[in-house]
Structure formats: structure tokens, C-alpha cells
Amino acid sequence: MTIIKPVPFKIPSAVITGLGSVKENLLDQVKGFDARRVLIVSDQALIKTGYVDELKGFLKDVETEVYANIEPEPSIENMEETLAWCSGKKFDVFIGLGGGSVIDSAKMLAALLAHDGKARDYVGGPKTFEKLGAPTIMIPTTSGTGAEVTVNVVFKDKAAKLKRVAVSPYLMPNVAIVDPLYTMTVPPAVTAATGMDALTHAIEAYTAMKATPLTDLFAEDAIVRIGRSIRTAVTAGGNVEARLDMSLGSLFGGIANAGASVGAVHALSYPLCGEFNLSHGAGNALMLPYVAELNMMGNIKKFARIAALLGEATEGYSDRDAAELAVKSIKRLSQDIGIPPRMSEFGITAEVLPRWARTVIETQTRLLSNNPRRLTEKDVLAIYEAAL
């Protein structure tokens, strides 16, 4: 008998997908909140694409302002600057247009403005959000984080050289509009890193201790879509079908992540991103094959299934052999799309690894407790050494 664990399953009140979905739906969604003043949160790269001006055109009947100073990997300090800029201004709706960094910043900004205190009080700090902020509409421009459908945000702590996280149901966006047309100009390297980030979310949620039959539905579909389309999206970025698959794969991976959370891949990637300025996607992409190799025995049936979901022929294989094939498939996929296979290629050296292993065990209890296999400090160090 399968026992369904009582894990809350939350998604935005509206999730809209499809080609042209922003043009067709954004204004109606904004008007649905009786909004008179709207803030578009974005970054300088998106300004250059013309997407921000396009959104302003869709919202010509509404007073619209733009804040576009979000960093590529936003820090707590950057969030404090954003909060200070917005202080005293009144906006009825916040629109996040960008990758995970922008979306996390827009989610955080709306929540902070409804509470006392600074960003540092809530990101790894003593305070938690206790009420909803102004409505938020998220439009992702990369196929990676799935942040448009999650209840967490990630920010870099520059002083501590760490990534810190805030998790709250009050960070869930009200509306997510996932339109592949806004991902068509993403360059190959970013497509690869963000796509592997999305795959990481799906695989970790699928094998997590908190996984449920409901989250498994989304995780499985995400793995299939990403596995069959990421190579094309990286090498032929103008392929609309591949971009659609990646957008939906990222979305579904995010929904699975929101319900089941993630594990050791994320936990081990945080020191890389905090100290060596790797993007969140690049850090996860680098660690995924090595963590999967050790995690495999913790949920061998799920890992055996992952091989089939990635398109591998597993008929006649034992669960053990199929699970090993899944790990090989992940490694080959990373190689095919140009993910560097070793930490040393980013200038990371062996002397930092024992400290990182200790830090992960001391600070990432939430994620490690959700991992399919219990990891000791020795295990974490072994993974880092294998990846060096």
C-alpha cells in the first residue's frame, strides 16, 4: 500500500502557458487586480532585448514604472538597494520579467514592502513573512529555475560568501505566464546551464524524501521534455518546439520543486556559487552527475525510471543497471551541451573542499534531510573530490 505523505501542494492561482501568452493575457491579469500603478522588475540585459518596452506597450492603459538594476546573481545588498529605491512608492502589482534572479527579487520586494525590517532579516535571518504583499505576476525569460511557481528565493551573502534562502508561502506568485517566445534569444551557454538547473529540480524533487505521486507527475514530465529537447535548444536556439519543451520542463520542474523541494545537489552547489561566482544553474549542472552517482542507491527504483524518462532503452535491465545508466545519461547530456565536467575548470582548488564539506553539513540541514541518501561530511567531501 502506498502512503501519500501530507505535503502541501501549492501553485499560483493562475498559470498561463503557450506561444504569445504574454501578449494575450498580461493586461487582463493586471486589470484583474484593479491595478493603477505597476512596477516591472527586470535587469539591464532585458532592457537591451526590447522585452521591457514591449511589456510597457501591452500595459499602455496602466501607469507603469521600471526598475532594472537587478544583478545577474542578486545579493542581499542588491535587494536592500532595490527596497530603498521602492520605499515610499505605491505599486498595486509587481511584474517580474527575467530569469530566476529577477523573479526572486520581484517576489522578495513585494513581500518586504508589506513587512518591517530589511532583506537580511528574512534571508537566512530571524524573521519570517506573516502576510501577503501586493500581487505579483512572473514572466520567466529563461528555462531554468521555475521560480515563477515556487515559495523560495535565493540571494548571495557577499560578506559570508554564501547563498542564503528564504522560504515562505507568502512568496508564491499570484500569476505565472510562461511564454517560450521570451526565451528565444537566450545564448547557448545560458540555455545549457539553466536547462540543467531545471533538470536538477525535476530529478531532485522526483527522488526527494518529500516526493508524492502528485509531484512525481510533474517531475516525470519535466525530465522527459528536458531530456529530449535541451540539446536542440542549446545548438539551435531558434527551434520553437525545443524552446516550448524547455519552458514547460522548467515550469513543471519548478512545480515539483515547490511541492517536494530539492536535496544535496543544491546544498553542495551553494559554496561554489558563493565563493567562485558561478551562476546557480552552472553550480547545479556541475554537481548533478556526481551527487546522482552517490544518491542512486538511496532510491534505486526512481533512478532506474529516470533512465527511461531520459530516453534510454532499459528493457531487460535490472534496477541497479538501469540506475547506473541514468547516471551515465546525465553525464553524457552535460557533456553534449558543453557543461564543464570539473570544478578545477572554474579555478576551484582542493584546499577549499574540506571547509566546504563542513559548511554544507552545518548549514544545509533542510536540504540534506530531504536527500534520498543520508550524507555525512565524509560523503560530501568525496563528492567534491570526485568533481574536482
Per this entry, what is the length of the chain? Answer: 388
CATH code for the domain of 351: 1.20.1090.10
279 has a pLDDT exceeding 90: no
- Torsion sign over Cα 216, 218, 222, 225: positive
Predicted confidence (pLDDT) at residue 376 exceeds the cutoff of 60: yes
Does the structure show a pLDDT above 90 at 7?
no
Domain that holds residue 141: 14-183
* Identity of the residue numbered 171: L
CATH number at residue 134: 3.40.50.1970
Residues 265 and 347 in one domain: yes
pLDDT at 18: 95
Residue 377 and residue 258 in one domain? yes
For 122-139, the pLDDT digits (tens) are: 998 889 999 999 999 999
How is residue 158 written as a grid cell?
557577499
Contact 26, 187 (CB under 8 A): no
Q: Which residues of 149-183 are buried (b: 16+ CB within 10 A; e: fewer)?
A: bbbbbbbbbeeeebbbbbebebbbbbbbbbbbbbb
CA 115/CA 70 separation, integer angstroms: 21
7 inside domain: no
Same domain, yes or no, for 234 and 307?
yes
Asked if residue 373 is part of any domain, the answer here is yes
Q: Looking at the structure, tell me whether residues 110 and 253 fall in a common domain.
A: no
What are the respective helix, strand and coil percentages of the chain, to the nearest 5? 55, 10, 30
Cα–Cα dist 103/149, whole Å? 10
Tell me which of 119, 150, 183 is where a domain ends.
183
What amino acid is encoded at 166 in this protein? A
Q: Are residues 284 and 298 in the same domain?
A: yes
pLDDT band at residue 67 using 50, 70 and 90 as cut-offs: very high
Last residue of a domain, one of 159, 183, 207: 183
Average pLDDT, the chain: 94
- Indicate whether 1 pLDDT > 50: no
Can you tell me whether residue 375 is helix, strand or coil?
A: coil
- Is the per-residue pLDDT at 5 higher than 70? no
Beta strand pairing call for 93-98 and 37-41:
parallel
DSSP-assigned states of every residue in 29-81: HHHHTT-SEEEEE--HHHHHHTHHHHHHHHTTTSEEEEE----SS-BHHHHHH
With a cut of 70, say whether residue 4 has pLDDT above it: no
Query: Which of residues 125, 154, 183 is at a domain's end?
Result: 183
